[in-house]
Structure 1
Amino acid sequence: MSSIKIAGATVNQTPLDWSGNLNRIILAIEEAKRQEVEILCLPELAITGYGSEDLFLSYWYPKKALAQLELLLPHCHEITVAVGLPIRIQDKVYNCVAVIENSEVTGFVAKQFMAIDGVHYEFRWFTPWIANEIVDIEFQGKQVPLGDLTFQHKEIHFGFEICEDAWRGKLRPGYRLCDRQVDLIFNPSASHFAMGKTALRKELVKESSASFDCFYCYANLLGNETGRMIFDGEILLAKSGQLLSRNRLLSYEDFQVKSFYLEPKTQDIAPINSKNEEFVQASALALFDYMRKSRSTGFVLSLSGGADSSSIAILVAEMVKRGISELGLDGFCKKTGIKTIPTSENPEQELMKQILTTAYQGTKNSSEDTFASAESLANSIGATFYHWEIDEEVKSYTTKIEKAIGRKLTWEQDDITLQNIQARSRSPIIWMLANINNALLLSTSNRSEGDVGYATMDGDTSGSISPIAAVDKFFILNWLRWAEKNLDRPGLAKVNSLQPTAELRPLERTQTDEKDLMPYAIIVEIEKLAIRDRRSPMDIYLLLSEEIDLNSTVLKGYIKKFFQLWSRNQWKRERLAPSFHLDEFNVDPKTWYRFPILSGGYAEELAQLDQL
């Protein structure tokens, strides 16, 4: 068996990019041949891309995927290739893997379990296959088996668990494959990135190989495919409970091929990164893919000097730095469509000037500290930096409404109105920069703000994409301190010295985010229990009263405030710009947590807290 060389391959695909998707698969096959691979496994739905959404429901889309499979066959001479695609049989669509041996399809394996939790919605598109069932379908004028199949290559007997199949405990197909005495199980996957998830995958692959006493090979998709989900391109091999190989994740390349001999010895295991490093690594790649796949030339950012906008500026800078490091300067410029390749001694800073345009939009309520913070950070990373005042625009809007209603606006009577008009007045002019530059406007909302609606709709929520909307503010604040030292970003020093504030009230009112809301560390604990774990207000109070040293009345007040603000601000979450899924959960109603726009707002549940 040791003479057999297999490989997992990852590809960065895009729905409806038929020629590009096919070419990347072909390049992966050619690389596998160069590495003398005999069996190559590509990821789940690699031909179409996993994120094709309701395209899977059409009749023509699965049909075209089969046509692409036919185009692939001539490139599979003298190699066995497994590649994912959808297949329609009458009115049902199945998530399948085609097994090609020496340019001929020998069978299709169908996925038996659908992912329906969190960001996944597979039951909308696919029908689960029934264990042990096999049918014949027509392909290229021949009858080809489809269903619960295994295959033979030389002395290797192999089968498949397709992504979710492997996460179903005692029901998983692996047990039946073990009964059939397979030597090798492939797991072609489209498993979304989340911080810390790779450790779970590693244990799954190790335990699977031990339970089934076989080689277990896992191959995941790569990149930001359709805007929200990120795939990390993980490739793993294990045997009898021992991890033998693991690749480097989140590559900027179009594909990776990781090959290994089928022998039970450690080959090459890349280390698992910290949560802080995973965050910047995944976000930077996601921004890179989003920019190039949307055919944009860069990003525009309203840089306030505070934590949120500053963290996004650093993520863009890391995108450029890491992209150049992996692809080379020419390769990075080619993939991003940048025609003028820098020739200076510091090409990274020169590219940053082209790619990221920032603006500090001050008012009479802004401080010198935040301006200095924004300017210092922009200069340190090489971004283009503008600054202007918007008091004239705010005064124009305010004067018009005062004339209309016949009275002056005051902070005592019109606090929210006077705050919001400042945030909204910044939006039109920053959008002008985005339009002028053919660039993506970056929205700066974080998950904690999304929880409680602490953001101005059509103000700081304006944007094409919201890179940090899936992570909480407490994490962002800690990550910035980590990034200053570990990413060598001295421009963050001023940012990290400031207390988070919206700077929308007069300076003498000493506005801070946590004074307006509650401590960010408390918001994190409440949201984990409320949103991630779906606990009731009473459950949350009983749990946190044991875990947090806080006055019971204060804790009840925080819980009430969270649920009241959460309920009345669902409409804002419905309108937030697309965001990357980065953590174990998020509050995006399109991908993770649906909640009614109109509701009773937990009135009875919150009233019960007062009865304790």
Structure 2
Amino acid sequence: MKQLRIALAQINSTVGDFKGNVRLITENILKARAAGADLVAFPELAIPGYPPEDLLLKSSFIDANLRALEEIVTASKGISVVIGFVDRKEELYNATAIIHEGKLASIYHKIYLPNYGVFDEKRYFHPGSSCPIYEISGVNVGISVCEDIWYDTGPATVQASGGAEVILNISASPYHHGKHHFRERMLGARATDNVAIVAFCNLVGGQDELVFDGGSVIFDEQGNLIARARQFEEELLIADLDVESVFHSRLQDPRWRKEGQQLECDCPTDRIMVSAPRQDSPRAMLPKQITPLLESDSEVYKALVLGTRDYILKNGFGGVIIGLSGGVDSSLVAAVAVDALGPKSVHGLIMPSRFSAPLSADYAAKLATNLGIKTFTVPIEKAYTAYLDSLSEVFRDTKPDVTEENIQARIRGTLLMALSNKFGWMVLNTGNKSEVATGYTTLYGDMAGGYAVIKDVPKTLVYRLCRYRNNQAGFDLIPDAVINRVPSAELRPGQKDTDTLPEYEVLDPILLAYVEEDKGVEQIIAQGYEPELVVKVARLVDVSEYKRRQAPPGIKITPKAFGRDRREPITSKFREGG
């Protein structure tokens, strides 16, 4: 039986950590070889890390990447290795090295360079122009990189038409909520359309605002899922591919040849010999490993945990500090931080004011006890009084307004940053997407922080995630009273969020339509929302762009996050709805 034992190493590379990345890659090569794999694949740009952004403009970075590749080539004995790196010829290429027995057998250059959403690959790379077919252990393998597989008549089809029995795609596919369903449907379609086995090796880990969810998969030539790795965790997924069945399926279904079809890319399919067929006796097939997909709220929560852990640890911070208000936002951020870093690395700061409800500090203290984190209490009354006294002459004959409210938020931001400076703890911002979108935040106040954990999480999802975490704990880890209390910034007597914003159950769908789906005001009104409300929300979003540009980076979990995804000008006279 014609068979290929393949290992997909979904690893957590760190951008620019060549020593650490080489060590991680080498360890997985050894594990794959010990498991009898013929071929081990690593994610897109696994050697330099993804995305390296403008580090690609530094010659020294490219040189370090090429030296690291040489180390990996030397370590690749007794197995074929497919791994992403940056190739430098007359241009830079997002490239894949095909290695066997300590030799660099070939290099594939990524053909389709994404330049939308979070991607800027055309800024750095030149596209490839060839779709080789590699003979690895007697199996014809078509190799491609990430975006290449998303085109239904792209490199995969060219390679399959040229005789490739296995399509191997190495990828760095950023996470957003629900993306894996769409991605797997696409990969299954590539397998059935081309009557080829499709193996997809994805990156895992956090890189600034991006999270990569792993979930590497293999589909057989009939579109059946035959292997899936865990999401949000490193794993070496090993599977035996029944390549003989591809031959028989193609005999029975000649439509796969698609004679005369218009292909997306017109590139040569040279045959390149990498390694000869195995000479040992046939091996027993490994049992299938198909890890179940996570439920909706679980996947978002794990993305937040992974993104937070990698941002803090990869940047060398010894711990974090969070302002605990007794509300759901800070409670969720604290729970995520503890799950990411452990309770000893998480600290809470409780900062009551004259407007804080007596129960707020109690709720914050109860949460801290449940999480096992240390807290400090620093009332802001003295500082607030001092500010008001200092400004009394200038503010004479004016009425208190949002200015006095924002002073309190800025005092709290200053106290958090003081503890950050003193103890080396990064401040975790606690603002959610609904607040960030509408500008319901204080610049240099509650917007202060080094990392915004729930920046891309709408308020209604915040509540769901709190309940999810409590269900996982088996008790009210986040006090039920916190989840059920009326949202308030507590910056003036009797204040509620709804004094300024509509109910979040109404607001969030409008924001979804306006921000993520790019629908205009008239389109949203046509969905049944009050015209005045839609115009108000759109205006709040538009005029708050200058605030968002000064916000800390945060984890992307929706299809369109503020920052890398959504790039609106600060200075603009265009307003939806007049």
TM-score for the superposition, normalised by structure 1: 0.85
Matched residue, 2:24:
24
Aligned residue among 567, 570, 587 for 2:542: 567
Distance in 2 separating the partners of 1:273 and 1:88: 39
Q: Which AA in structure 1 matches 2:471?
A: K
The 8 Å contact of residues 76 and 99 in structure 2, kept in 1 or not, is answered as yes
Distance in 2 separating the partners of 1:262 and 1:167: 22
The equivalences for 1:321-360 within 5 A come to 352=343, 354-360=344-350
The equivalences for 1:82-97 within 5 A come to 82-90=82-90, 92-97=91-96
Q: Which AA in structure 2 matches 1:53?
A: E
TM-superposed deviation, 1:409: 4.9
Matched residue, 2:422:
436
The equivalences for 1:149-298 within 5 A come to 149-170=132-153, 172-225=154-207, 227-240=208-221, 241-251=223-233, 255-263=234-242, 267-298=288-319
The 8 Å contact of residues 308 and 476 in structure 1, kept in 2 or not, is answered as yes
Cα deviation code 1:434-481 (max 9, x no counterpart): 222211100111111111100001111100100000111111122212
TM-superposed deviation, 1:2: 5.0
The 8 Å contact of residues 502 and 511 in structure 1, kept in 2 or not, is answered as yes
Cα deviation code 1:28-85 (max 9, x no counterpart): 1011111111111111001101121012233333333222111111211111000101
Distance in 2 separating the partners of 1:458 and 1:488: 37
**What secondary structure, in the 3-state scheme, does the structure 1 residue paired with 2:392 have?**
helix
The 8 Å contact of residues 353 and 380 in structure 2, kept in 1 or not, is answered as yes
The equivalences for 1:480-559 within 5 A come to 480-492=466-478, 493-506=480-493, 510-542=494-526, 544-545=527-528, 555-559=530-534
TM-superposed deviation, 1:408: 5.4
The 8 Å contact of residues 44 and 203 in structure 2, kept in 1 or not, is answered as yes
TM-superposed deviation, 1:601: 4.6
Ranges in structure 2 where 5+ consecutive residues have no aligned partner: 246-284
Identity of aligned residues (%): 26
**What secondary structure, in the 3-state scheme, does the structure 1 residue paired with 2:349 have?**
strand
**What secondary structure, in the 3-state scheme, does the structure 1 residue paired with 2:490 have?**
coil
Distance in 1 separating the partners of 2:360 and 2:433: 22
Q: Tell me, yes or no, if structure 1 residue 597 matches structure 2 residue 570.
A: yes
Distance in 2 separating the partners of 1:518 and 1:257: 48
The 8 Å contact of residues 152 and 190 in structure 2, kept in 1 or not, is answered as no
Distance 1:531 1:10, change over 3 A: same
Matched residue, 1:139:
none
Distance in 2 separating the partners of 1:452 and 1:529: 14
The 8 Å contact of residues 471 and 586 in structure 1, kept in 2 or not, is answered as no
Distance in 2 separating the partners of 1:479 and 1:514: 21
Matched residue, 2:256:
none
Matched residue, 2:577:
606
Matched residue, 2:58:
58
**What secondary structure, in the 3-state scheme, does the structure 1 residue paired with 2:451 have?**
coil
The 8 Å contact of residues 76 and 102 in structure 1, kept in 2 or not, is answered as yes
Matched residue, 2:264:
none
Cα deviation code 1:355-403 (max 9, x no counterpart): 1110111111000222221111111110112223101111111111112
**What secondary structure, in the 3-state scheme, does the structure 1 residue paired with 2:437 have?**
helix
Distance 1:491 1:234, change over 3 A: closer
The 8 Å contact of residues 45 and 83 in structure 2, kept in 1 or not, is answered as yes
The 8 Å contact of residues 29 and 76 in structure 1, kept in 2 or not, is answered as yes
Matched residue, 2:70:
70
Q: Which AA in structure 1 matches 2:105?
A: T
Distance in 2 separating the partners of 1:109 and 1:47: 15
Distance 1:161 1:489, change over 3 A: farther
Matched residue, 2:321:
300
The 8 Å contact of residues 311 and 480 in structure 1, kept in 2 or not, is answered as yes
Q: Which AA in structure 2 matches 1:310?
A: S
Matched residue, 1:362:
352
Cα RMSD after superposing both structures? 1.7
**What secondary structure, in the 3-state scheme, does the structure 2 residue paired with 1:404 have?**
coil
Distance in 1 separating the partners of 2:340 and 2:2: 40
Distance 1:387 1:286, change over 3 A: same
Q: Which AA in structure 2 matches 1:538?
A: E
Q: Which AA in structure 2 matches 1:78?
A: G
Q: Tell me, yes or no, if structure 1 residue 148 matches structure 2 residue 131.
A: yes
The 8 Å contact of residues 338 and 345 in structure 2, kept in 1 or not, is answered as no
Distance in 1 separating the partners of 2:398 and 2:484: 34
Matched residue, 2:375:
385
The 8 Å contact of residues 223 and 230 in structure 1, kept in 2 or not, is answered as yes
The 8 Å contact of residues 63 and 88 in structure 1, kept in 2 or not, is answered as no
TM-superposed deviation, 1:215: 1.3
Cα deviation code 1:494-546 (max 9, x no counterpart): 2112111111111xxx321123111212222222222222122112212x22x
Distance in 1 separating the partners of 2:520 and 2:21: 45
**What secondary structure, in the 3-state scheme, does the structure 1 residue paired with 2:491 have?**
coil
The 8 Å contact of residues 351 and 377 in structure 2, kept in 1 or not, is answered as yes
Distance in 1 separating the partners of 2:516 and 2:116: 11
Q: Which AA in structure 1 matches 2:515?
A: I
Q: How many residues align?
A: 534
**What secondary structure, in the 3-state scheme, does the structure 2 residue paired with 1:204 have?**
helix
The 8 Å contact of residues 510 and 524 in structure 2, kept in 1 or not, is answered as yes
Q: Tell me, yes or no, if structure 1 residue 38 matches structure 2 residue 19.
A: no
Aligned residue among 387, 411, 428 for 1:425: 411
TM-superposed deviation, 1:114: 1.3
Ranges in structure 1 where 5+ consecutive residues have no aligned partner: 131-146, 321-350, 608-612
Distance in 2 separating the partners of 1:16 and 1:62: 10
The 8 Å contact of residues 227 and 288 in structure 2, kept in 1 or not, is answered as yes
TM-superposed deviation, 1:189: 0.2
Query: Which is helix-richer, 1 or 2?
Result: 1
The 8 Å contact of residues 7 and 236 in structure 2, kept in 1 or not, is answered as yes
**What secondary structure, in the 3-state scheme, does the structure 2 residue paired with 1:566 have?**
helix
The 8 Å contact of residues 568 and 598 in structure 1, kept in 2 or not, is answered as no
Distance 1:385 1:393, change over 3 A: same
**What secondary structure, in the 3-state scheme, does the structure 1 residue paired with 2:140 have?**
strand
Distance in 2 separating the partners of 1:119 and 1:102: 37
The 8 Å contact of residues 298 and 468 in structure 2, kept in 1 or not, is answered as no
Distance in 1 separating the partners of 2:467 and 2:333: 14
Q: Which AA in structure 2 matches 1:37?
A: A
The 8 Å contact of residues 79 and 102 in structure 1, kept in 2 or not, is answered as yes
Distance 1:559 1:217, change over 3 A: same
Cα deviation code 1:141-180 (max 9, x no counterpart): xxxxxx421110232000112111111233x211101111
**What secondary structure, in the 3-state scheme, does the structure 2 residue paired with 1:363 have?**
coil
Matched residue, 1:6:
6
The 8 Å contact of residues 63 and 87 in structure 1, kept in 2 or not, is answered as no
Cα deviation code 1:98-153 (max 9, x no counterpart): 100111111111111112222111111112223xxxxxxxxxxxxxxxx4211102
Distance in 1 separating the partners of 2:110 and 2:523: 38
Q: Which AA in structure 1 matches 2:141?
A: F
Aligned residue among 572, 578, 581 for 2:556: 581
**What secondary structure, in the 3-state scheme, does the structure 2 residue paired with 1:262 have?**
strand
